[in-house]
Amino acid sequence: MNDVKKLNQIYEGKAKKVFATSSPDYFIVEYKDDATAFNGLKHGTITGKGIINNKMSNAMFALLESKGVKTHFVEQLSDRETLVRAVKIVPLEIIIRNVAAGSFSKRYGVEEGRELKCPTLEFSLKDDALNDPLINDSHIIALGVATEQELAQIREMAYKVNEVLKEFFAGIGVKLIDFKIEAGRLPDGEIILADEISPDTCRFWDAKTNEKLDKDRFRRDMGGVEEAYQEIFSRINKK
């Protein structure tokens, strides 16, 4: 893949930039240290985050590929840059929760940390102007966001990702509380896992102490943000 050249930027999100390449089949993503929360209301920098999220996401995608989940990951190019397959993102935040936390706890009045009887799946429509509203299966199909068949694939993929990641993180003394993933469509319509898997997009609690090792430390002004990202990353690397 050394012959694929980075071309113009086609998108800039809150935590990543996406570049076209000399091949229509590939994009290059570049991870930033920028952090936002509450739909961009809160801004900051988490020094070194881009490097950790890039390397960690790639490690998670490689693990998931080895367990049969197709992902956009192709090859890490540098500390912050990765070559990925070009997909069109399905505009959904696909969220799995094992333990109540965050907006789920708020919405249903459930204390953070309560173990759920089964993993739950929920969707939000990716639309900043609307504040990423919750959306149900019927709405998704009715609006043409995804077909019924695609939704079935997304559901299956999300639960499989949960099983693989839960087991992996348990092995490094970390509880996977919840996470958000995104799905992409290849030109032939196939659905694959895209975006990132990092402390920005997952909640990780230390299995013994319940210490938060994720972006909630930034969202909630808890301090020790960089250290939390480094702690998760170093546990992954020791494995």
Applying CB under 6 A, the residues found at the interface with ligand TMP are: 95, 101-104, 178-180, 201-203
What distance in Å separates the CA atoms of residue 75 and residue 14, rounded to the nearest whole number?
Answer: 22
Least spacing, CB of residue 173 vs ligand TMP, in Å: 18
Least spacing, CB of residue 76 vs ligand TMP, in Å: 21
The residues that touch ligand ASP, with contacts defined as CB under 6 A, are 14, 36-40, 215, 219
Q: Under a CB-based contact definition with an 8 Å cutoff, are residues 92 and 182 in contact?
A: yes
Sequence-separated contacts (24+) of 129-134 with Cβ below 8 Å: 131/39, 132/39, 132/93
203 binds, among ligand TMP, ligand ASP, none (CB under 5 to 8 A by kind): ligand TMP
CA 129 to chain centre: 20
The helix or strand, by DSSP H or E, that contains position 97, with its residue range, turns out to be strand 92-99
Residue 6 or 235: which CB sits closer to ligand TMP? 235
What distance in Å separates the CA atoms of residue 233 and residue 238, rounded to the nearest whole number?
Answer: 9
Residue number closest to ligand ASP, CB atom: 36
110 binds, among ligand TMP, ligand ASP, none (CB under 5 to 8 A by kind): none
What distance in Å separates the CA atoms of residue 94 and residue 179, rounded to the nearest whole number?
Answer: 8
Least spacing, CB of residue 200 vs ligand ASP, in Å: 6
103 binds, among ligand TMP, ligand ASP, none (CB under 5 to 8 A by kind): ligand TMP
Residue 23 or 103: which CB sits closer to ligand TMP? 103
